[in-house]
Amino acid sequence: MSTTNLAAAIAAVMGKMQPTMIQLEGATGVAYSEEATVKLQAGLVYHSIELETNLKEVATIEKITIDINGTPVVYASNAMLDMLDKAYQKHQKEGRFTLDLSKFEYRTSQGIYQTQLVTELTDDVTLQIKFKAKGATDPTVPTLKAKAYVTDKKPTGRIFVPTRYELTQYSAAAGEHTWNMPNGNVNTHVQRMVFAENEVTISEIRVKRGSRVIHRVMRSDLEYGLQRHAGVALQAGYCILDFTALGFGAEGALNTQGLNFEFIVDGAGAIKTYVEGFKQVNPLPTRQQIEQLALNA
């Protein structure tokens, strides 16, 4: 098969990427201080999840999780999603919250769809929404409708999954604080990290692969680059380290194998850390497999 024909085969296998909105099943367990669940239709590719509520306060939804077969794949606090929407200047509406999986702001289709969530027909997929206690301005009874942008499942199946999670690291004192990327490996990539500065302020970041420095930024460099290249509106109390700020969601992401960090901080304390990226869970199809899939498409 020639290069031209191979490209055509790949296009045939991938199909037309045209996400459309669906209304998800009704949520069960919608109540303050409870966890609501929505069963997601298996066999679709999910690009974003939208929650339409009557809530007045963002923090009333504590956490949003997508679970496949009993294992959390993606989770984030609603407060973090709200902060990122403000930082990247996404349109917002009271009571409406969005968990973006694909990132349509990137420049290439590969980058955009790198973090789509592919589900298999045999998967048990659940959206979990954890509510906190009623906020002071919230209505007496909360309501929730969920919807999603989806495409049909591709014959290649699930090769990558998006990753979103939060953890906490601790600085012992002012000066240099070192931190190894947990569970770093060749199959996992990081696109963006956010460090909450409730207790500690960061003035410099050195990203290392093993002992070699591969990325070094002063805080002023970081903030200038975010504003110039990604149009970020800086948010007080947060330090954003975005490896994809130039607009390339796949190429800009860093492989986490041997990845570690050195921070210059102003004191001791906890640094809550939010991580976004993707993980390869199955091998890429071979040329022969692509050709066969194209014949079957």
Written as tens digits, the pLDDT of the chain (297 aa) is 455 555 555 555 555 678 999 999 999 999 999 999 999 999 999 999 999 999 999 999 999 999 999 999 999 999 999 999 999 999 999 999 999 999 999 999 999 999 999 999 999 999 999 999 999 999 999 999 999 999 998 788 899 999 999 999 999 999 999 999 999 999 999 999 999 999 999 999 999 999 999 999 999 999 999 999 999 999 999 999 999 999 999 999 999 999 999 999 999 999 999 999 999 999 988 777 776 766 665
Q: Are both 3-159 and 163-280 of the same fold?
A: yes
- pLDDT at position 5 is 57
- pLDDT at position 260 is 98
- pLDDT at position 284 is 85
Which residue pairs from 281-286 have beta carbons closer than 8 angstroms and sit at least 24 positions apart in sequence? 281/158, 281/159, 281/160, 281/161, 281/187, 282/157, 282/158, 282/159, 283/159, 284/159, 285/13, 285/156, 285/159
Which CATH number does the domain 163-280 belong to among 3.40.50.300, 2.40.30.110, 3.40.50.11740, 2.60.120.730?
A: 2.60.120.730
- pLDDT at position 285 is 80
- pLDDT at position 52 is 98
Class in CATH terms, 3-159: mainly beta
- pLDDT at position 275 is 98
| The model's pTM | 0.93
Spell out the domain ranges in the chain: 3-159, 163-280
Nearest in space to 202 (alpha carbons), one of 172, 176, 233, 165: 176
